[in-house]
Amino acid sequence: PEIDVQGNGVSIADGDTTPSTSDHTDFGSADITSGSVTRTFTVRNTGTGTLTVGSVSVSDTTNFSVVSQPASSVGAGSSTTFQIKFDPASTGTKTATVSFSNNDSNENPYDFRIVGSAVVIGEPKLRLWNRNPTDWGTKSPGSTISGTMDVQMWNNSPNALCQTVIGIRDSAGNWVGGEPQVIVNTIPEMDSDGSTYSGRSFSNLTLPTTPGTYMVWSCMAQQTSNAGAISYFKSLTPATENEMNRTVGPVVVILPDLSWDSPSLIATPANVSAGSSVHVAGTYRISGQDVSGLQIYYRLSPDQTYDDSDLALGAEYASGTVGSHTSSFDCILPSPITGTYYIVAKLDVHNTIAESNENNNTGASNAIQPKPENAKIDVELVAVATPNSADTASTLPTSLNSVRPGQAFYVEAWLKNRDFSVNGITGGYLDFAFDKTKVTGGTLSHGGIYTNLPSGIIDNANGKVDDFGGNAAPGVIDKGDNEWVRLGYVSFTVGTGVTGNAIFTAAPGIDTIARAGEGAIAWSNVELNTPQLSIPVVGCMYDLDNSGRIGTGDYAVFSAAWHGRPGDHFWNPACDFDKRGASNGYIDTADYSWLSSNWLKYTTDPTITYPPNVSILPAKRLMTLAEAPLAIDVELLPVASLSTGDTAAALPTTITQAKLGSIFYVEVWAKNIDGSTRGITGGYLDFSFESALVSAGTISHGKLYTNLTGGSVLQSSGLIDDLGGNAAPGVIDKGNDEWVRIGYVPFTAMARGTVHFNASPGIDTMARAGEGSIAWAQVQLNSPTRAVTISSDPPPAQTFRTIFIDSKNRLLYISPSSKVTKVSLPKMGNISSPAWSTDGQWIVFCASPTYGVQQVWVVRPDGSGRRRVTNGYGDLSNPDFSPDGKRIVFSSRQSGLCMINFDGTGETALGVFGVHPTFSPDGRFIAYSNWGQTYESDVFIYDLRKKTIRQLTRRSEAGEAFNYANWSPDGKKLIVNRLSSARTYELVVINRVTGSERSLTPTLTNSDEAWASWAPDGQSIVFQSNMSGINSIWSINSTGGGLRQLTNWADGAYYPSCGQLPGTKTSAGREAMKRVFSDTPIEPGYLLV
């Protein structure tokens, strides 16, 4: 063995007596009360035998100690460590000798000297004055503070640097809002007079978000040069200052609070006629912090509480500064109105202001009682979904907003004194008419009070309920004097296919209404039908445009009301599906889910679902349909490549010619042409094409119209059916002053001829925000009709063989005559990565017949001469012959790129990690990919002569990959497979010298792979695609066009490669081109696909 001891990576000689900071034998300075220094030393064995090491000792155990011992045995080429700590007990220079035994023949024992300086580090001092401000008062959570002050610092600490910092501390002394801010940079040791720094400023110290009292605090920060650590002198509590801790001033963090004084509101006059004006004034208070955007909402309530179901009277903007403020509001009471009411006001209705108390924002006025009028008794008809459970009520029950065809409901008759009489209503009879074309009467009931001498007949033939009523039991004389009382109720059913309003009109019956002690009340003193009961019959709550179907028109109305609240100019209560009777005051995703779950259903569809316990409001159309004959222009545009965005100021350039085998796109664009500023929210349309000429790919909707999308490719019928969708709710500004793309379809030119693309109405219409459906008569289609003429460049005659693998793991090749030949092989496990030799006499491939790892093999096309070339331990893949056939390059999972002679000798690792290697035609270069764990790769070129690497491609986006490079026969270009971040494939031709790119094929949106191989004559490129519905081998002219399908088998064909026919040569001088890939699944690091 041979021993080598190092400190800080520097060797320490045996017997060294001159400690140095470079090898850590000089420990520097340490404070005798609070400081210590620990050093780590390494023992290395640079010999061939095992090194034994004894325990380490130090001669001065008072000031030095061994913290950790080395291992007792160190193998050849290995090392171990030990640690010594310097923790002095008194001042002065301290030395010691380190020693330990070992079995090195000439360095036993091993010893060296160490030294350290023990000092007393004095405390720095700090003085602050001219602080501005000294008290920040109150601040809102998360706000910032700034200020200035003068600083004087003393630093009598040797070997130390000092700073002055400022920050915010809580009551426990913890820094909050981040690390302190430096206001005086590090200064070295100074004399006793100190140094002065005037006007030191600090800014944007962030306050906590939790309310409380905090202290702006300044202190010294010390950095010892030998340790490099910074410590803040903040051990004392914030209330205590010493020479290193100074308070700058307090700051209080609080939330604002909005409240009403008591009494909160005064309404005058308190006794007023219905329909008259009432003035309400009150005092509200803002404490803590100013607020912005404050509004006060007013409602008329029967119970002094603020509820969304109460009648809205209006709103006003209010001052948001701290202090008391007077509110003043005038409103008109509705007519008729009876009973006792209150005007209720609420601050910050939508809770947009965070407050310390969210429960004191409501104030209520004194009671308001309308004056008695001529009417003594009020009679009201109310429509309800189910009869009320009680026959009396303090307030009139809420009537249904609407009913649906086929729905059953009830009409209740309610009575109440209007003149404040204390005499109860003892009974009465009345008639009421109904529209027999809308509803049919069922049964009637008199409830539980007016059950004496009851009567009533339902006359459906004449649309009338005749003499409906009864009397209370004798002695019951207190009903209706200060509450509503129900006379009875009648059941009705809405007819099917009914629209319009169902109207119910009350009229005097066979007898009058009567009160206890008064007798009959003349009908002239009875208020009837104010207002008249009129219930809209709505076919479906989601049919907002009344078109009879839930579609784009309804979506347009809904989108315009998105995120609306009561009071907003775009608020539409009909779109608040989930809480119609008592609105949740917000149109949100819950409402959208109800609309989308019933999408494209007709309103007569019995499977339509509704939210529980809600009624229907008729839609509020924000504007009517445009009067212009044409409102929207829809254009079909054949384009060579996809437009870069979904909006455009002008229509993209269209094409009229396409090459046979090429891929082009038909995009659907729309725009307003009537001057409307309303955006196009969605739409669906069909368009036809000649199916014998083109093959349609996968429909895409772009990035705008992605909600409730539709579209089907009916290839045999030559139809794109119902292509379209809707923009996200609230997106209502597209297509109003620009062209907007609804979607697109890729097409492959399959035969010569002229293909026509004709648009027609789809399953639903186009729609605009706030307008609903736009009739197809107002949509301009096919102006002009688009046509593309498909011509062909004849594919060059094939002078090469194409080898591939099918799904049964068979190795086959196809000749120019389309004859398929199977290479005869025994069972060899998984076969992968075959490639031709230059003369076409040999095939190299990988297989694992008896082992779990792949090895490189060679075989002749007829199956003879099979021989294993490699005997490695790491999985091998993607072998390729050198142009002279003497060497084979391959990829090893363990060693990267490797080379071996054809006879199996001379295996060499090139020192390059990569996959998919392929020789250049002159044999000098190897192109490969650096495909890693993220499947993001580029193509590189390795120069075998200079041993240098050049990067050919450079990814421009995350998830992009360039791989599977293959050389052109002249060596000037490479065909590369580009995989975009959107997981679409494209074949790209790249110049080897300049790196310039040329797209050979547009993005193959409906093809899983596109690995390519250049034909030996340079005229064709072969690649894999499933554009025909099954994995097949295709060829295309190297200049584009001439698409041709080479295989079409049920077993599929994968990873094609071109090879030269035996006995022929290429004009480029290369005798073969080859590339084939395996269908073997891979893991990152393999050369397999």
Q: Which of 574, 550, 549 is nearest to 560 (CA)?
A: 574
- Residue range 632-791 forms a domain whose CATH class is mainly beta
Is residue 839 within 8 A of residue 883, CB to CB? The reply is: no
Report residues of the chain scoring pLDDT below 50: 158-159, 189-193, 224-240, 372, 580-583, 615-628, 933, 1003-1005, 1067-1089
Four-way CATH pick for 257-364: 3.30.2320.80, 3.40.50.300, 2.60.40.10, 3.40.50.410: 2.60.40.10
- Residue 962: CB partners within 8 Å, gap ≥ 6? 929, 937, 938, 939, 952, 953, 955, 976, 977, 978, 979, 988
Q: What length does the chain have?
A: 1089
Is residue 689 within 8 A of residue 775, CB to CB? The reply is: no
- Give CATH superfamily name and number for 800-1060: TolB, C-terminal domain (2.120.10.30)
End-to-end, the C-alpha distance of the chain in Å comes to 50
- The 3-state secondary structure of 596-643, one letter per residue: HHCCCCECCCCCCCCCCCCCCCCCCCCCCCCCCCCCEEEEEEEECCCC
**Prediction pTM value:** 0.36
Is residue 909 within 8 A of residue 895, CB to CB? The reply is: yes
Which pLDDT belongs to residue 1084? 32
* The pairing of beta strand 647-648 with beta strand 73-74: unpaired
Run of H or E residues at 538: none
Task: Give the whole-angstrom CA distance, residue 659 versus residue 480.
Answer: 88
Q: Which of 177, 166, 179, 180 is nearest to 210 (CA)?
A: 177
Is residue 175 within 8 A of residue 234, CB to CB? The reply is: yes
Task: Give the whole-angstrom CA distance, residue 457 versus residue 677.
Answer: 56
Taking every pair of Cα atoms in the chain, the longest distance, rounded to a whole number of angstroms, is 135
377-537: CATH topology: Immunoglobulin-like (2.60.40)
The torsion of the CA quartet 67, 73, 78, 79, rounded to 10 degrees, works out to 20
Run of H or E residues at 559: helix 552-560
- Phi, psi dihedral angles at 772 (to 5 degrees): 85, -150
Which pLDDT belongs to residue 79? 94
Domains 3-119 and 377-537 share a fold: yes
Is residue 791 within 8 A of residue 752, CB to CB? The reply is: yes
The structural domains of the chain, with segments of one domain joined by +, span 3-119, 125-253, 257-364, 377-537, 540-622, 632-791, 800-1060
Determine the CATH number of domain 3-119.
2.60.40.10
Task: Give the whole-angstrom CA distance, residue 336 versus residue 704.
Answer: 50
Task: Give the whole-angstrom CA distance, residue 182 versus residue 684.
Answer: 63
Task: Give the whole-angstrom CA distance, residue 890 versus residue 917.
Answer: 7
Which pLDDT belongs to residue 1074? 36
Which pLDDT belongs to residue 273? 61
Q: What is the DSSP letter of 590?
A: H
Is residue 4 within 8 A of residue 46, CB to CB? The reply is: yes
Neighbours of 38 (CB within 10 A): 14
* The pairing of beta strand 57-58 with beta strand 110-119: unpaired
Which pLDDT belongs to residue 229? 38
125-253: CATH topology: Immunoglobulin-like (2.60.40)
Residue 291 has, within 13 A of its CA and on its CB side, a CA count of 26
